[in-house]
Amino acid sequence: MSSQWFVGVDIGGTTIKLAIIDTYGEIITKWEIPTNTEEEGKKIPEEISSAIFSKIAEIDASREQLAGIGVGAPGFIDMETGLIYQAVNIGWTNFPLKDLLEAETGLPVVVDNDANLAALGEMWRGAGEGARNLLAVTLGTGVGGGVIANGQILHGVNGMAGEIGHITSIAQGGALCNCGKTGCLETIASATGIARIATEKLQNYPESELAKIFNQVGKLTAKDVFDNAKSEEPLSLEVINEISFYLGLAIANLANALNPEKIVLGGGVSKAGDFLLNSIQKHFETFALPRVVEGANIAIATLGNDAGVIGAVWLVKQKTNK
C-alpha cells in the first residue's frame, strides 16, 4: 500500500487554505478556496469536502490514502467536541464543525484554534526544530500566540491559554484594545499599534522621513517604520526600541514561567527580521532569569502561511496514531 496522507485545513475570514501532506510533514500539494460566509457559513464543511475529493481525483490519488483531516479555525473552540462556540468573521455560533466535516468526508477530523496550530507547525517542521517546549508569538494585525509544553498545546480550562496579545503591558492608561481593555500588548506590538505609536511621535520629529511620508500619504504603516529603520532614521529606531521593550518584557515574563527552548516570532511584522529580533533579544535578556535566557533561543518563523496546515496535520496524525 502506498504511504498515508493527511489533509490540513486552515479556515480564515476570506480564504480557506488546504494542503495534502505526508506523514513526515512534507506538502504534496496545496491550494485555496474562498470562504463562503453566506448563510452564517453553513456550506463550508460541504465545500471543504468537495475541494478535497476533487483534488484527490485531479492528482490521480485514491481516497483510501487519506487518514484524517486537521482543521484550524478562528474563534472560541471546544477542542474535545470540535464545536465552534463563536467565530465572528465567519458567522458561526455553536457550529459543530468536526461532526459536520466527518459526516461529509467519512474521515476522522480534529479541530483546534488556528494560532495554536501555527505554533505546532513551527514546532514540527519550522523554526521550532522539534523543540517540545515552545512559545509562539504571532505579530500581525493583532498579536496572537500559542504555548506548547511537553509537545502538547496548552489549552487551559476553557481554551484561552496563549492569548499573549492581551497581556497588560501598560498598567494604567494605554490605548484601547479590541478586547475592551486598555494597554494590551496587541495595542503596541501589532502592525496597527506600531503605526499608531509612530504617528503619535511625529510631532517630535517634524523633519523625519516618516513625517514626509505622513504628509504625502496621510498615514503611516508598520512597514514604513521598518523600512526607515534600515537607514537608521532616529524616529523609526525609537519606535522599534519601544515596541521591542514591551515584547521583550512580555516574552521574558512568559519564559520565566514556562522555560521554553524555542521562542518563535511569526506573522507579518516578523518579516522585519534580524533587526527586530536583536532588539527584542536585548530586552528579553534584561527581564528573563539568566538560566531561562541560556535555555531559550528566539527565532523568526520559517513556514509563513503553511504553518497552520502543517500544524493541523501534526495534530490529526497524533490523534489518529497514524
Give the footprint of Zn ion on residues 248-307 (CB under 5 A). Answer: none
Q: How far is the CB of 282 from Zn ion (least distance, A)?
A: 26
Q: 179 or 257, CB closer to Zn ion? A: 179
Number of CB atoms found within 10 A of residue 23's CB: 13
Q: 176 or 217, CB closer to Zn ion? A: 176
Q: 142 or 311, CB closer to Zn ion? A: 142
Crossing angle for the helix pair 222-230 and 234-258, nearest 10 degrees? 110
SS3 244: helix
Considering the rule CB under 5 A, would residue 55 count as an interface residue with Zn ion?
no
Q: Calculate the alpha carbon distances from 275 to 133, 162, 208, 252 in Å.
A: 25, 25, 20, 19
Q: Are 117 and 311 in contact (CB under 8 A)?
A: yes
Q: 110 or 269, CB closer to Zn ion? A: 269
SS3 content of the chain, % helix, strand, coil (to 5): 45, 25, 30
Closest CA to 298 of 320, 314, 278: 278
Give the footprint of Zn ion on residues 113-172 (CB under 5 A). Answer: 166
Q: How far is the CB of 184 from Zn ion (least distance, A)?
A: 3
Q: How far is the CB of 145 from Zn ion (least distance, A)?
A: 13
Q: How far is the CB of 173 from Zn ion (least distance, A)?
A: 14
Q: Are 297 and 107 in contact (CB under 8 A)?
A: no
Number of CB atoms found within 10 A of residue 170's CB: 14
Q: How far is the CB of 178 from Zn ion (least distance, A)?
A: 6
Q: How far is the CB of 190 from Zn ion (least distance, A)?
A: 10
Q: How far is the CB of 273 from Zn ion (least distance, A)?
A: 26
Under the phi-then-psi rule, with left for phi > 0, alpha for psi from -120 to 50, and beta for the rest, what region is 273?
left
- Under DSSP, the state recorded for 157 is T
Q: How far is the CB of 166 from Zn ion (least distance, A)?
A: 4
* Count of residues engaged in binding Zn ion, rule: CB under 5 A: 5
Q: Which helix (H) or strand (E) holds 236?
A: helix 234-258
Q: 194 or 211, CB closer to Zn ion? A: 194
Give the footprint of Zn ion on residues 170-189 (CB under 5 A). Answer: 177, 179, 181, 184
Separation between Cα atoms, residue 149 and residue 111, nearest integer Å: 19
Q: 74 or 108, CB closer to Zn ion? A: 74
Residue that has been written with the C-alpha cell 502592525 in this structure: 191
Closest CA to 201 of 211, 189, 212: 211
CA torsion sign for 147, 288, 279, 226 is: positive
Q: 88 or 289, CB closer to Zn ion? A: 88
Q: 179 or 217, CB closer to Zn ion? A: 179
* Contact residues for Zn ion, defined by CB under 5 A: 166, 177, 179, 181, 184
